[in-house]
């Protein structure tokens, strides 16, 4: 069993940033001279994650060949290739055979940079005895405002649910810390593509809360043209987001 595993969402078409990079898949767009997705992998490696599953669909072979030479040393990457778009929820269920033996799973999009310490987040997730923790921020783009809320008790109000009195609007930073067993395929789910939030809503109906952890660290969505143009300013304010400490090589 892998104690800590990762899942990086890379199956999207990258339509929101295609105007800047018409010929490059989103995971391979350059950030400080290296593919964007590699910075996400390095962040996971620093958090003690050495086994990562990546889902691919659009230009899958090009992404795989582009990442192969720059995968962080000591990290094993396996691929879950989708023959059609499955959505975040469908993609995780499709990858069930590859993630089922992990004790804790960190799910991330390939396009959000943050200095949030995932390793410490895992420890707090485990101390809380949570099944799902979503990493949230009190700040974010106006276009995404009002979609997710956080209750005073630390429970997440998901998109499509009605916030209650005292619930605060927050932004999702694209980081999930979960017990991978929540992604075991089950009857009654919609036909893909569907969002992972559909799975989380079903958990809540069974009485399993979705825990929210709010971070004050900066974050930036590079999946949009506007976000990518903000990259220099972001790196000046939050340099630790992509300049990793060196990971000791395995002996």
Write the pLDDT tens digit of every residue in 130-175. 999 999 999 999 888 899 999 999 999 999 999 999 999 999 999 9
| pLDDT of amino acid 184 | 95
pTM metric for this prediction: 0.94
Evaluate if residue 247 carries a pLDDT over 50.
Answer: no
Contact between 179 and 104 (Cβ < 8 Å): yes
Evaluate if residue 250 carries a pLDDT over 50.
Answer: no
For residues 188 and 117, what is the distance between their CA atoms, to the nearest angstrom? 36
| pLDDT of amino acid 93 | 97
Contact between 107 and 200 (Cβ < 8 Å): no
| pLDDT of amino acid 249 | 43
Which tops the pLDDT comparison, 248 or 35? 35
For residues 66 and 60, what is the distance between their CA atoms, to the nearest angstrom? 10
Q: Average per-residue pLDDT in the chain?
A: 93
181-191 confidence digits (pLDDT tens) = 999 998 989 99
Evaluate if residue 104 carries a pLDDT over 90.
Answer: yes
| pLDDT of amino acid 14 | 83
For residues 210 and 41, what is the distance between their CA atoms, to the nearest angstrom? 25
Place of tokens 């590079």: 222
In angstroms, what CA-CA distances link 58 with 26, 92, 108, 175? 10, 16, 18, 22
Evaluate if residue 200 carries a pLDDT over 90.
Answer: yes
Q: How confident is the model at residue 103 (pLDDT cuts 50, 70, 90)?
A: very high
For residues 197 and 4, what is the distance between their CA atoms, to the nearest angstrom? 22
Domain positions in the chain are 2-241
CA angle 125, 115, 17 (to 5 degrees): 110
**pLDDT, mean of residues 122-128:** 98
**pLDDT, mean of residues 189-202:** 96
What homologous superfamily is domain 2-241 in, according to CATH?
Answer: Spore Coat Polysaccharide Biosynthesis Protein SpsA; Chain A (3.90.550.10)
Q: Which of 33, 34, 26 is nearest to 9 (CA)?
A: 26
Evaluate if residue 242 carries a pLDDT over 80.
Answer: yes
226-239 confidence digits (pLDDT tens) = 999 999 999 999 98
| pLDDT of amino acid 1 | 61
- According to DSSP, the β-strands at 102-109 and 132-137 are unpaired
For residues 183 and 57, what is the distance between their CA atoms, to the nearest angstrom? 20
């Amino acid at each position: 069993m892998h104690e800590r595993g990762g899942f990086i969402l890379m199956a999207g078409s990258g339509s929101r940033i295609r105007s800047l990079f018409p010929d490059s898949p989103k995971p391979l767009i350059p950030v400080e001279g290296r593919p964007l997705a590699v910075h996400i992998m390095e962040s996971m490696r620093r958090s003690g994650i050495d086994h990562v599953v990546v889902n691919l669909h659009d230009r899958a072979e090009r992404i795989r060949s582009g990442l192969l030479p720059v995968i962080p040393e000591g990290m094993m990457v396996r691929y879950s290739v989708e023959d059609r778009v499955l959505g975040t929820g469908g993609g995780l269920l499709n990858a069930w055979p590859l993630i089922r033996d992990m004790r804790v799973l960190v799910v991330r999009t390939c396009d959000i940079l943050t200095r949030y310490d995932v390793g410490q987040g895992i420890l707090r997730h485990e101390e809380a005895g949570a099944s799902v923790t979503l990493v949230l921020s009190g700040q974010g783009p106006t276009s995404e405002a009002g979609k997710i809320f956080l209750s005073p008790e630390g429970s997440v109000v998901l998109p499509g649910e009605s916030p209650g009195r005292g619930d605060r609007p927050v932004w999702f930073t694209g980081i999930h810390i979960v017990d991978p067993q929540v992604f075991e395929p089950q009857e009654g789910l919609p036909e893909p593509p569907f969002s992972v939030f559909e799975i989380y809503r079903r958990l809540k109906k069974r009485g399993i809360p979705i825990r929210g952890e709010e971070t004050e660290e900066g974050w930036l969505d590079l999946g949009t043209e506007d976000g990518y143009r903000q990259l220099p300013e972001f790196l000046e304010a939050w340099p630790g987001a992509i300049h990793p400490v060196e990971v000791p090589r395995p002996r």
